[in-house]
Chains A and B, each alone.
Chain A
Amino acid sequence: MLKPVNILMVGVGGQGTILASKVLAAAAQAVGYDIKVSEIHGMAQRGGSVVTQVRLGEKVYSPLISEGEADVILAFEELEALRWLSYLKPGGKLIINNQQISPVPVLAGAAEYPQNIIAQIQARGINVQVLQALDMAIACGNAKSANVVLLGALAKNSPIEEKIWKDALAATIPPNLLEVNNAAFTAGFTAGTAGR
């Protein structure tokens, strides 16, 4: 039996990780995968660190991803990539948005935001793809679609074909926002070809 593919989406409350996981789930469902998605609601949403765990395959039991098990980490923010990096499996891929959002302990001067996170991770020999997702989303017409730019890059690394992703977008996103999100997805998908 094929082992499940594990995708960890990490970011900051309000960045749209949950919407991205919905589109991913819809695409995986259309292909006929068994799928489990796990997320935490409630207190974490108030600007805290958020994580959505997505597992797809022939048969999925646990809805959770343990340390060292993620095939892909889709990081919406640099510090969150660092926080969840130990979940990446050997040979796994990190897709990272080069955005920095300072947590309150950093704003308050009680902690430092680590410097050069991306370069430090790359220096570890990890397969990293960096995206300027926020700039790309702004170029597409809406800063809030940065999540869909990242999803596009993830899609490029998936065995699911582009059309199914686009259908999943259309089924998940309100019609008035679909055009800008389609553009954002394509931007991410195209950038995704760059690989390493």
Chain B
Amino acid sequence: MKELLSGNVAIARGAFESGVVLAAGYPGTPSTEILETLAGYEGIYSEWAPNEKVALEVGIGAAMAGARAIVTMKHVGVNVAADPLLTVAYTGVNGGLLLISADDPGMHSSQNEQDNRNYAKFAKVAMLEPSDSQEAKDMVGLGLAISEQFDIPVILRTTTRVAHSQSMVELGEPVAREIKPYNKDVKKNLMVPAFGKLRRTSLAERLKKLTEYSENTPVNYIVPGSDKVGVITSGISYQLVREVLPDAAVLKLGMTNPLPVELIKKFAAQVETLFVVEELEPFLEDQIRMLGIKVTGKELFPETGEYDQGLLRRCFVKAGVLPASPHTEDPAAGLPQAPPRPPVLCAGCPHRGVFYTLRQLKLTVTGDIGCYTLGGLPPLEGIDSCVCMGASIGMAHGIDKAVPSLKGRTVAVIGDSTFLHSGITGLLNAVYNNSDSTIIILDNRTTAMTGHQDNPATGRNLMGQEAPEVDLTMLCRSLGLKRVEVVDPLDMSRLQELIKAEVAMPGPSVIIARRPCALLKREVKPAVTVDEEKCIGCKTCLKLSCPAIAVINKKALVTAEACVGCNLCVQVCKTGAMQRGQADA
């Protein structure tokens, strides 16, 4: 039976069909749906870990003890998990271990576009790259088999257009879930220097065998074509190349670490001109050049952003491979430019008032990763920075210690899920080293940006069971914080008073701004109304960046269908024109 599945749903199906016992991960676009889908399959244990490092360690434990395991994360998550990754290559596995890295060329939902193929080379592990949903599903089973056969973890590297594109998938029957016997083996699993050296030698041998495997695996194959032009490619770029150059010979690489050296040499000898088409880094290209083979790659194709067939067509025209297409006029020529439509915090978002207040108080604010990063965009402009998960707290402390003029004027904002992911250690450091910074935990009771996943503070787990709910106040106090306050962020006067007071106090403080995400708990109160007599068109309300408010003909206008009655605008309006909605009698 065939079904139309996204790459992520296909990966979950692949895990179900190939005997996966355990799955762990941390949410991150474009990887999140893998575990969400997998949680719906009976008999597979799946969990959200607080971060990717923990998730990988959970997977390593399961694999060492003999069970097949998959671990899922977005590309930057692998940075967090890199520590165990680079050593589990040494120990190897018992049950198969597959790490799924979902990369994001073009940065649709990410802070960078790092190319995680480099991790496979760096960590010396095998890597597979699917180019559609069928391959995504099949490569889960293949990857686990390779992992067990060669005693090595395997990276399955997808990109946004594989993870989030849907294509037809032939469903298969699940194999029995088996657990291999576990035998204690410290020379294999206890990485002290003496044993680590043994496993380092073993790793080189395993990679050598993997290279032989790569020469013969059916996922590395030549699509026959013209002997004039040959293309070496992998992942989504394969689909684009087939679309643009249907007659070219193509070497399609499904396994991109280690590379099939002999196959590449053979293919290169068959064609007159050789191109390498790959998004982001010249990962294949550099290695092919080192074989002494002449190729055209990044001098023609961009090293940044995402490819599509239009871009490749233009590149191949430039290279003289394709004839210039007849000029067609842009249908939008001469029309006005469309103003941008950036994503915004939702109407009723509990974060909005915090950013408005921080901006009013002219504080220096280090931000973090989540919906609330949108609070840095105009007109809210309530955040100065965003680097990575958890960075806000360490950065605020660094500013506080280094720059006297900003001392006592620096605030970190971090979401509940992000705090539990990697903010706790930053906070511990701020306490230990006597920071004067104030940390605001934006506790909206969920992992909102990626679509409302549970986390250790929500009281539920991925499998829908009740779970212990971490008490954030107690957690902060246990780290040594003297001052931890909880506030409802829709109460703007108390919020402002509290921030002012805590910022002025010496020593670190935590403010927990607690209210569930507006999308999670749809509490729609009567919409705000505008008294047009009182409205002077000052546009103060617009500084809230609320999608329900406009000012038209110098009068504020609240769209009743969009307003959820959070009443922030009522609190910031200086003339009393914005009025709380009255429930219909």
Q: Contact residues of A with B, CB < 8 Å? A: 12-13, 25-26, 29, 34-49, 60-69, 79-80, 82-83, 85-86, 88-90, 92, 102-114, 117, 120-121, 124, 126
Residues of A within 8 A of B168 (CB): 29, 34-35
Q: Is B42 an interface residue (CB 8 A)?
A: no
B residues whose Cβ falls under 8 Å from a Cβ of A:
4, 29-30, 32-33, 108-109, 132, 160-161, 164-168, 236, 239-240, 242-243, 308-311, 313, 328-336, 338-346, 371, 374, 378-379, 449-451, 539, 542, 545, 547, 549-551
User: In the bound complex, do residue A108 and residue B331 qualify as a contact, i.e. CB atoms below 8 Å apart?
Assistant: no
Residues of B near A44 (CB, < 8 A) are 108-109, 343
Nearest-neighbor residue (CB-CB) of A77 within chain B: B341
B167–A47 contact, CB under 8 A?
A: no
Query: B345 — nearest CB in chain A belongs to which residue?
Result: A46
Known: A37-B167, A124-B335. 16 other contacts (CB 8 A): A12-B341, A26-B4, A29-B4, A40-B109, A43-B343, A43-B449, A46-B343, A66-B308, A66-B309, A79-B341, A83-B341, A85-B331, A103-B341, A104-B341, A104-B342, A105-B339
Q: Is the interface of A mostly helix, strand, loop or mixed?
A: mixed
Question: Considering residues B4, B30, B160, B331, which has the most beta carbons from chain A within 10 angstroms of its beta carbon?
Answer: B331
Query: Does the CB pair B335–A69 fall under 8 Å?
Result: no
B247 → A minimal CB distance (Å): 13
CB contacts (< 8 Å) of B334 on chain A: these are: 124
B residues near A60, Cβ cutoff 8 Å: 167
Name which residue of chain A comes closest to B109, CB basis.
A42
Q: Check B239 against A61 for contact (C-beta < 8 Å).
A: yes
Residues of A within 8 A of B545 (CB): 104, 108
Which of B32, B331, B340, B341 contacts A86 (CB under 8 A)?
Answer: B331
Cβ A106 vs Cβ B310 within 8 A = no
Cβ-defined contact, B336 with A124, below 8 A = no
In the bound complex, CA of A121 to CA of B340 (Å)? 19
Q: Is the CB of B542 within 8 A of A38?
A: no
Among B310, B328, B345, B539, which residue has its beta carbon within 8 angstroms of that of A66? B310
Complex alpha-carbon distance, A37 and B6, angstroms: 8
Known: A43-B108, A63-B167, A68-B328. A109 touches B542 (CB 8 A): yes
- Asked whether B243 lies within 8 Å of A62 as measured between CB atoms, the reply is yes
Tell whether, in the assembled complex, residue B547 and residue A47 are in contact, meaning their CB atoms are under 8 Å apart. Answer: yes
B258: min CB distance to chain A, Å: 27
Bound CA–CA A64/B307 (angstroms):
9
Task: State A107–B332 Cα separation when bound (angstroms).
Answer: 24
Distance of A89 Cα from B326 Cα, bound (Å): 13
Give chain A residues whose Cβ lies under 8 Å from the Cβ of B30. 41-42
Evaluate whether A64 and B449 lie within 8 angstroms (CB atoms) in the complex, with A37-B165, A37-B166, A48-B343 already known.
no
Q: Indicate if the CB atoms of B164 and A62 lie closer than 8 Å.
A: no
Chain A contacts for B343, CB-based, 8 A: 13, 43-48
Residue pair B108, A42 in contact (C-beta under 8 Å) = yes
Complexed CA–CA distance, A68 and B310 (Å)? 9
* Chain A: minimal CB distance from B397 (Å): 28
B310, B336, B379: the one within 8 Å of A69 (CB): B310
Q: Known contacts A25-B4, A114-B336, A126-B331; is A49 also within 8 Å of B341 by CB?
A: yes
In the assembled complex, the Cα of A117 lies from the Cα of B337 at a distance in Å of: 11
Q: Cα distance A95–B549 when bound, in Å?
A: 29
Q: A36-B167, A90-B328 in contact; A114/B4 too (CB < 8 A)?
A: no
Contacts of A102 in B (CB 8 A): 550
User: Please, could you name 30 A-B residue pairs with CB atoms under 8 Å apart, sorted by A?
Assistant: A35-B167, A35-B168, A36-B165, A37-B4, A38-B165, A40-B108, A40-B164, A41-B451, A43-B29, A46-B345, A69-B309, A79-B341, A86-B330, A88-B331, A103-B340, A103-B342, A105-B342, A106-B550, A107-B549, A107-B550, A107-B551, A108-B378, A108-B379, A110-B379, A111-B339, A112-B339, A114-B338, A114-B339, A121-B331, A126-B331
